[in-house]
Each structure stands twice: as structure tokens, then as C-alpha cells.
Amino acid sequence: MQTLLNELKHIVGTAHVLTDGDLSAWTQDWRKRTHGQALAVVRPAHTTEVAQVVQACARYRREHPDSPVSIVPQGGNTGLVVGSTPDESGRQIVLSLQRMHAIRQVDGANLTLTVEAGCILQTVQEQAKAAGFWFPLSLAAEGSCTIGGNLGTNAGGTQVLRFGNTRELCLGLEVVTPQGEVWHGLSGLRKDNTGYDLKNLYIGSEGTLGIITAATLKLFPLPKAQLTAWVAVPSTQAAVTLLGLAQQHLGPSLTGFEMMGQFALSLVAKHFDSLRVPLYQDAPFCVLLESASQDAPTQARTQFENMLEAALEAGHASDAVVAENLAQAKVLWQIRESIPLAQAEEGLNIKHDISVPISSMAAFVQTTDAQLAAAIPGVRLVNFGHLGDGNLHYNVQAPVGIDAAVFLREHEPEVNRIVFDSVAAFGGSISAEHGIGSLKIEHLAHYKSPVALGLMRAIKLALDPQNLLNPARVIALP
């Protein structure tokens, strides 16, 4: 393989083919569940280098069928499903896009921004803002994840309710194919019906069909008024009803609708002394609700408060506070974002990232809660998430007094089966926003329809017949 490594060094420069020292930043997954072994970490500086690296690996693979190399594309390596780190074979190249982080263009009149894949999400947000616009994609890892990773995994986050997933925020892509060709699809067009939708095929394919090297993203006017409320609700059903009411009152101004269970919030209160969690002690669930509009601030506030009053009067909410300023709003979001950290403080747990139709949400929670309680008496549910999108992080924590590691070892398959079977019964998804990677590939094979799996396999085989890009992720070839 030394020949290949030499060729790669020739393409990107010796300094950017890493083979020695501590490579764990690239070879270990974000949650530190797996430790892979890379043949090399290769860091190209521009699209032509990416194409040449892919060509070199494809050629090597053709000429050495007995020791097949493959490529794992990687952005910020913050994914949660072990999709961007190498396996233990030592025959995988990690192709890191981190050096490709330029903002290529901001086009205000077209409301678009063109950026390279390795750019950190927060930088995209900041550059958009500096130009007077809003790029609304927002998620916990935004300080270290890259836009290429967000696109590769079709990331969700907290603004999906109004703006959609990353897919809906992207107008065009530049992609290096498994043959090392470059598709220049960086369209800033809002309408283009000239053939199959290649863009959306690459988005969410987790680096298995091509390597996204740049993207043209949608920008939006900065909002003139932003309002944030924390609302106590008497039940999941009440939260769903409140969502409908907020949509009727606010329309597209409603940008965020997060639901948090009492136990999840109690963990934040327990482990983060400095955070004062409002209203949670007397309510089974709280909702974090946000609006953004071009209305004048006083007018927007009146409309927002009218909505909350209507909800209180109708009994969909038992209490509510509205943030008086941006600082207060930030604290409310900090509480929401601290739930996973508080949960980690409490001990290991079994995480899920599921979605169901919003109309089935209450029934799903009630049914699944009951099934888990029956199977494992005392089990604790850290239930929170993007209710406005029908997406919950329905996490399962050991009963009080039970060692978390033992709980996981003994109960993880059973808990997954109960939760995923229930998701399937309600017509939901076992991975709403995190993707499949290698972590969920066997679950997918079980829960996805054979017709869909067959179609996915045919597409993978057609576009990457060598199985060069991120093999054994998302869909396994025979």
C-alpha cells in the first residue's frame, strides 16, 4: 500500500497524509464508542485534489482486489451513528474535508451562500449574518460540525419546523463521484426541472454515493422580532394541541417547538446548579416555543401573547413565561440543550432518535412508556425533542440503584426492540435526524421495507460499483 500512500502524498502534499501519531480525532467516533484504524488521514485542499485522491484509490482497488482500500469521507466527525470513522481493517482512507472551508460567494440578491464542505456550521451562520442574512440551520454541535457533514447526513436541529432539514436549505451541490469525476451542480436556482434529482440523492447518503465538496445554501432575511416562551403543559396530547394552535396563530413565524419531559428537566436541575429550570415541578412536560417574524416587535409580541393566552384559557397549557430579552431566551435554550449533558452525568443510557406522525405522538408515548415499564420495572425515560417535527429523543435510563453499564448490557437489545417495534406500529422512523451509519445498519435491514432496501442497493451498485465510498454504511452490498 506504500505505492498508494506515495501517490496520495504527491497529490495533497506529504504534510497532509497523516499516518503516524495520535489520529484518534479522526479514527474515534464522537461518542467514543468505537476506535478505528486508518490507512491514512488524507486532507485535500480543493476539489481537484479530492477527485485525484478518489481516482488513485479507485485505481489501486481495481489493481489490488485482494487488499481492497476504501474511503471514509469525514467532516467535523460529530455524527452520532459511527458513519464517518474507519473500521478496524487499517485499509480505509479517512478523507477529511477540514481544509476546504472557504466561503466561495454570498449572493444577497439571490439569497444564496456558496461554501466548501469543510466549513464549520457556526462560521456559515456568522458569515451569513455579517452579510445581513440568516442561515437558520442550528444544532448542538454547530461549533464543530461541518456543513458537508450536515448535508451528508441531512441534519435536523431546532429550526426544522419552519425551514425543513438541511436538504430543504440547499439549492445545489458540487460532488466528487466514486469514479473521481466532478459534478458541478452548484446551482443557485430555485427551479430546475432538467432531469433526476441528484442533489437530494447525495444529501443524506452519508458519503456512500459521492463526496460533497461544496454547496449553495439558501439565505433568509434576518427576523425583526424574535420571541421565546417556556410553557408548562398537562400532557403530550396537550402539547400536540398547543402546537396546532400555535401554527394557526403564528403560521410560518413559528420556528421552534421543543418538548421536554419532567424527568429530563429534573436531571438538568440536579446536575447543573446554576441553571434555574422554570415551571417543571408541577407539570409532566414543558414546551420551549419560539417565533421569528418581520413584524414590528411590539406587534409580534401581542400576537405571541394572544396565542399563549388562548392556550392557557383552553387548558392546553397550565403556565407560561415569555423571555423578556435575548439573554433570557438564551438561558431557556441552554436548559434545553443541557438535557443530553445532564443525562450523561446521570450515567450511560440507551438513546433513540425517532419520529412518528405528530397526530400519533401522544399514543406512541403512552403505549411505549407502558410497554417499557412492564418489561423493566422502574425504568426511567428521558423524553425530549423536536415535537414540532414529530421527532423525539426517547432515551431510556436504568432504574434507580441499577448500575448503568449492567443495565445496558442486559437490556439494550430488548429496549431497542420495544421502542422500534412501537415506532414501526405507529408508522414512524427509527432514525429521524441522526442517520444510519454503521450503528443502525442492522436495525435498518430489519425495519425498512425490502422494496426500499432493494432500491437503495440498486442505486449504490449503479453509482459505486466498486463499493469504494464508505462501504458497510447505510446499506450493505452482498
Instruction: Please report, as residue ranges, which positions from 340 to 359 form the binding site for a copy of itself (by CB under 8 A).
Output: 355-359
Angstrom distance (rounded) from CA 396 to CA 415:
8
For 470, left (φ over 0), alpha (ψ -120 to 50), or beta? Answer: left
Give the nearer residue to a copy of itself in terms of CB position, either 2 or 298: 298
Q: Which residue has the cell 400555535?
A: 246
Q: Which of 23, 103, 140, 198 binds a copy of itself (CB under 8 A)?
A: 198
Angstrom distance (rounded) from CA 150 to CA 85:
16
Angstrom distance (rounded) from CA 54 to CA 243:
47
Q: Which of 427, 442, 446, 477 binds a copy of itself (CB under 8 A)?
A: 427
Dihedral sign from CA coordinates of 396, 400, 404, 410: negative
Q: Which of 30, 64, 183, 312 binds a copy of itself (CB under 8 A)?
A: 183
Q: Which of 93, 432, 439, 468 binds a copy of itself (CB under 8 A)?
A: 432
**Per rule CB under 8 A, is residue 297 in the interface with a copy of itself?**
no
Contacts 24+ apart (CB under 8 A), 394-400: 394/352, 394/354, 394/365, 394/368, 394/419, 395/343, 395/349, 395/350, 395/351, 395/352, 396/349, 396/350, 396/352, 396/372, 397/343, 397/346, 397/347, 397/349, 397/350, 398/347, 398/348, 398/349
**Per rule CB under 8 A, is residue 162 in the interface with a copy of itself?**
yes
**Per rule CB under 8 A, is residue 192 in the interface with a copy of itself?**
yes
> In this structure, are residues 285 and 260 in contact, taking their beta carbons and an 8 Å threshold?
yes
Q: Which of 428, 438, 469, 471 binds a copy of itself (CB under 8 A)?
A: 428
> In this structure, are residues 75 and 55 in contact, taking their beta carbons and an 8 Å threshold?
no
- 3 state SS of 215: strand
User: How many of the chain's residues bind a copy of itself (CB under 8 A)?
Assistant: 96
- 3 state SS of 264: helix
**Per rule CB under 8 A, is residue 338 in the interface with a copy of itself?**
no
**Per rule CB under 8 A, is residue 295 in the interface with a copy of itself?**
yes
DSSP label at residue 140: T
Instruction: Please report, as residue ranges, which positions from 102 to 161 form the binding site for a copy of itself (by CB under 8 A).
Output: 107-112, 153-154, 156, 160
**Per rule CB under 8 A, is residue 325 in the interface with a copy of itself?**
no
Instruction: Please report, as residue ranges, which positions from 203 to 242 form the binding site for a copy of itself (by CB under 8 A).
Output: 203-205, 209, 220-221, 223, 240-241
Q: Which of 15, 66, 449, 478 binds a copy of itself (CB under 8 A)?
A: 449
The DSSP H or E segment spanning 316 is none
C-alpha cell at 420: 422500534
Give the nearer residue to a copy of itself in terms of CB position, either 340 or 435: 435
Least distance between a copy of itself and beta carbon 316 (Å): 13
Identify the CA nearest to 232 among candidates 155, 316, 337. 316
Give the nearer residue to a copy of itself in terms of CB position, either 185 or 234: 185
Only segment of 266-274, 341-349, 401-409, 429-437 that touches a copy of itself (CB under 8 A): 429-437
Instruction: Please report, as residue ranges, which positions from 47 to 106 form the binding site for a copy of itself (by CB under 8 A).
Output: none
237 to 276: interface string for a copy of itself, x by CB under 8 A: ---xx--x--xxxxxxx-----------------------
Least distance between a copy of itself and beta carbon 392 (Å): 10
- 3 state SS of 197: coil
Angstrom distance (rounded) from CA 223 to CA 291:
9
Give the nearer residue to a copy of itself in terms of CB position, either 90 or 357: 357
**Per rule CB under 8 A, is residue 190 in the interface with a copy of itself?**
yes
Only segment of 90-98, 197-205, 344-352, 393-401 that touches a copy of itself (CB under 8 A): 197-205
Q: Which of 389, 398, 407, 411 binds a copy of itself (CB under 8 A)?
A: 389
**Per rule CB under 8 A, is residue 463 in the interface with a copy of itself?**
yes
Least distance between a copy of itself and beta carbon 283 (Å): 21
Angstrom distance (rounded) from CA 477 to CA 359:
36
The DSSP H or E segment spanning 182 is strand 182-185
